[in-house]
Chain A
C-alpha cells in the first residue's frame, strides 16, 4: 500500500479534507492581533486561565491514566464475553465521546451537583463539588478518558498476548507480568492516549461551564475565557485561542517524538 501510487482523485479529495481542517486555523493565525499579542498575553486573566487549564488538564490526564488503563484492560478482556455485556461496556465508554459536552455537564450536575444523586451528600457535608477546580477536573476526565481507553485498548489488541503467558509460565507474578511485560508493550499506546487525553482536556468547554461554572482563577479555563472574551473583545478572544492552539500543537509535536519512538511502524 505504501509503495503504491495515490490516485489523483484520492489526493485531490484528501487535499480538500486537509483544507477543511487546517484553513480555519490559518484564518486564526492571519487575523491574530500580533502587535498587541504580548500585551494581551501577559495580562492577568490570560495567565490565570492558562495556569488553571494546564493544572487541571494535567491532573485530569493523571486521573485518566489511573482509571483508564485498567478500564482499557477490562475492555480488551471483554472480547471473550457475551455480546450483551460486551457491547454495553463499549457503549458506556463511547457515550461521552459522542454526547454533546453540555449534556455531559448536565448529567454530571444531576449526579454530583448540590442536589445530585451523590452530590447532595457532599453538599450536606459542606463539600460542594460544583464551582470548584475539582469540578473542572471531573468534567475534563469525563470527556477525555474515552480517548485514553480506546488508545490503550488498541495497543493491547495489537500486542502479542502470548508474551504475557510466557512470562507467567516463567514464574512472574501477576504484578510482575503487568509491570514488566504488559506496560512496556502498551507504553506507546498509553503515551499516545495520554497526549490525546491532555489536549482534549485542555480544550474542554461545554461540560466544564455547565458543571463547574466560570469564575476567574477558580473554574474559568482558557476555552471559557476565550468564549467570554468573544462577547466583548474579539481580539482578546483570538489571543486566548492562539495560546490554546500553541499549547495543544506544542504538546502534540513535542511529546509524540520524544515519547513515541515506537509508533513509526
Chain B
C-alpha cells in the first residue's frame, strides 16, 4: 500500500468556469469581435514596458500576445533556431497558423532578443501583404537597459514619437485629456488587480494562483473598461464567499519567465502547495505600481515614469537589487514558505537573475527551487518530481 500514490488534497475554488476567467483559454474572444465590428483597431504587443494607456487613448485595443494552449512550434521552428525561447516560438507558430490575423498592428520593443526579433518575422512571414489581405501597422520603441535620468529622457522621447506615429497612422489626436482618462482607467484596473491579489496572499485566501493567472491573462485580452467591470463583479462575488483553508499547504511564490497557461501552476498546486504570490510579468510585476498623476503636468511623462521606474524585469541590468528587495517584501507580505524560480529554457535574462536569487535567498535561509522548463507543459514527470521533493523538504 505504501507505494500507492495518495490523492492530493484539492483546493476548493470559487471561480471554476467563470466566464471572465475562461477568456484566458483562447486567443480570440467575443469582446475583440465586438470591438472590431465598430471598425476599431487592435494592436498586439509582448511586453509590459509598452505604453498601453497611449494605445487606449488612441482608441486602440492593446492585446497582449500569448501562446496559451499551443504545444506545437513546428512552423515557427523553421524561422527560429532551437536555442530560442519556446514561448516566443509558440506565439510565432500561432501567428503563422493565422491565429493572430485579427490584429491590425503590432508594437514591439527590445524587451529581450527573442521577442524583439518578432518585428521582422511578423513583418516578413506573418503579416506580409501577399499572405494577408489587409494592412497591418508596425511600431517599434527602443527602451534603455538601465535606469538613469538620461535613460528616462530617451524613453520619454520614444513614447512621444510613438504618440505622433499613432496619430498619423490612425488620423486622430491623442490629447492630454484622453490620455489622462486612459490612465485613470488603467490605474483603476491595477487597483482592482491589487485588491484581488490581497485575496490571494492572505492567510485564508479566496483565489488560487491558477485563478490569479487566468484573471491576469483575460484582463490583457479585452478592453479595460469591460475588464474593470468584470473584476469588480468578481470582487463582489468573492466578498460573500468563505475563506479557503490552505493551512496544510506550503505557501509558494512563483518567480521568473512568463507563464501563460495554468498547467504549470496547477502542477505546483497539485503537488501539495499553494501558490500565494508571484513575480512574473503576467502577475504582480504588471500591476504593482500605479501612475501618480500630477494633473498640472504632462500625462505622457507620468505614464513613462511608471513604466520606467516601476518594479523591473531582468532586462534592466542595473536593478537586480531592487528586484531582490521587492521579492523579500513579497515573501514577507504573503507569508511565503518557499520560492520556486523558473525559467523557460534559453531565457538568459531570467536564468541569470534566478542564479543570483538562488544564492541570495539561500543566504537568507529561504527555501528555494530553481528549475527550467518549456513554455508549454512538457517534461511533466521531472518537474513534478522536483517540485514534490522541494515541498516535501520544507515540511
> Do A and B associate with each other?
no
